[in-house]
Structure 1
Amino acid sequence: MSGRNPPSARRIADALVEECGRTYAEEAGIRLKDTPQPLYQLLVLSLLLSARIRASVAVAAARALFGHGMRTPRRMVDATWQQRVDALGEGHYRRYDERTATQLGEGAQLVLDTWQGDLRRLREEADGDRDRLMAGLRRVPGIGPAGADIFVCEVQSLWPETGPLLGAKALQGAERLSLPTSPGKLAQAARGHDDARFAAANVRAALDKDIVDAVTEAAHRQ
């Protein structure tokens, strides 16, 4: 690739979305809609993704939990701690399985008690303020800054007042791709692309050097 002019930010953004523009919710089989069940499933996935573990393992663990019926906060609370541990183990989420099983139960109970099982109530409380929304998410056990960041990045296509947002990990991916990291310039490069898919693609680039190489090569071919 030596001697070639570097591709423009726009071409890199286009190649990035084409190569890996798939949200983590889509990968986990969540049909994201503005209804209680998929929003709760996204919360669970965000908790799993925020641990220091491979994203593919977090996605597999989410699929296993949902496959065992733990798709709503009520069903998560009604499951035993051991059932949650076993489902996480099926997804090979073993390093943090016991602590996470406890957090999932406590978090589901909080969602029921605070928002009657419907995260749209949290959205109403935030009233368009992204910081208030993230603060509310961080009340859920296991959802720290990283988990709140992931949730908002994924939900921004449904809740447009939360975006556009990339988050710290996505900005790391943008930097690795030689994309601009200033919000205005990056938004210009990404114009026309779905915000959530663009954010997820940048996160994947931050986590996998092979993606950076593949996207850069694809951008050169455009």
Structure 2
Amino acid sequence: MSTEDVVSALLERHGTTYAEEAGIRLADEPAPLWQLLVLSLLLSARIRSSVAVAAARELFDAGYGTPRGMRDASWQDRVDALGRGHYRRYDERTSTQLGGLAHVVLEVFGGDLRRLHEQTRDLGGDLQQFKGIGPAGAAIFCREVQGVWTDLAPYVDRLAADGAERLGLPRSPDELAALVPARDLPRLVAGCVRAARDEKVVDDVLGD
């Protein structure tokens, strides 16, 4: 297969970002940026991504799609929403983390993560000030937010680079970004991450 064919198949079959799966219309606005941060925290746990996405949807449907909404919810309300998304193994700890996350975002950044973007020189590192967001969660946020915070692009972490290599694509962020229009880079990176995590994705794109 040509590189163009691999990229086309990957985008078509596996190029949905986690934000899209969770119903987040990502934009450089406070609410969707907060929602992406919540999703990144949920995806950080050792739990299936589909469960994390379902839990995020439940939280947002319950009215916790803003930092204030999350902070004002009771601890039990957050636990219940996580439970409806079957995020039960980590629900109590995560409810506490989400309350703390909302508090910090409100108190330090006025509920607007664009302020973090304006002042940071190391977004991946600064995101880890939030309890529950470690290196994996920070990488998830950066991979997806680069579509709206374009100064971060091309952001390709090691996991995405590993997936690209398995598909016969370049590991280099610049070379990988050159394969698609800028708007499609988060989708390409998302597909590469899936390829790194699941051999079936590689087989589906390249053929058995």
Q: Which amino acid aligns with 2:51?
A: V
- Quick check: 1:137 aligned with 2:127? yes
**1:149 lines up with 2:143 in the alignment:** no
SS in 1 for 2:207: helix
| Paired position in structure 2 for 1:191 | 180
Q: Which residue pairs with 1:168 in the alignment?
A: 158
> What is the CA deviation profile of residues 146-167 of structure 1, one whole-angstrom value per residue up to 9, with x for unaligned ones?
1111111101110110111121
- CA distance in 2 between counterparts of 1:38 and 1:19 reads 25
The count of corresponding residues between Structure 1 and Structure 2 is 207
Tell me the secondary structure at the aligned position of residue 27 of structure 2.
coil
Counterparts of residues 79-118 of structure 1 (less than 5 Å)? 79-118=73-112
Q: Which residue of the partner structure matches residue 42 of structure 2?
A: 48
> What's the CA shift for 1:40?
0.1
Matched, 1:217 2:207: yes
* Alpha-carbon distance in structure 2 between the residues aligned to 1:8 and 1:50: 34
Q: Given that residues 177 and 185 in structure 2 are in contact (C-alpha distance below 8 angstroms), is that contact kept between their aligned partners in structure 1?
A: no
Equivalent residue number for residue 62 of structure 1: 56
Q: How far did 1:101 drift?
A: 0.8
Q: Percent identity?
A: 58
**CA-to-aligned-CA distance 1:60-106 (integer Å, 9 cap, x gap):** 00001111111111111111111111111111111111111111001
Report the CA distance between 1:173 and its aligned residue: 1.6
More displaced stretch, 105-114 vs 207-216: 207-216
Q: CA RMSD in A?
A: 1.5
SS of equivalent residue, structure 1 residue 165: coil
CA deviation profile, 1:121-144 (whole Å, cap 9, x unmatched):
001112xx3xx2222211111111
Q: Which residue of 2 aligns with 1:203?
A: 193
Name the TM-score, length of structure 2 as normaliser. 0.94
Whether the 8 Å CA contact 2:62–2:81 is kept in 1: the answer is yes
The Cα shift of 1:183 comes to 3.0
Aligned with residue 26 of structure 2, among 28, 32, 37: 32
1:77 — aligned with what?
Answer: 71
Secondary structure of residue in 2 paired with 1:138 = helix
Q: Give the TM-score normalised by the residue count of structure 1.
A: 0.88
| Counterparts of 2:35 and 2:174, CA distance in 1 | 31
Would the aligned equivalents of 2:23 and 2:57 in 1 still touch at CA under 8 Å? yes
What is the alpha-carbon distance in structure 1 between the residues aligned to residue 144 and residue 117 of structure 2? 14
Tell me, which stretches of 5 or more residues in structure 2 are unaligned? none
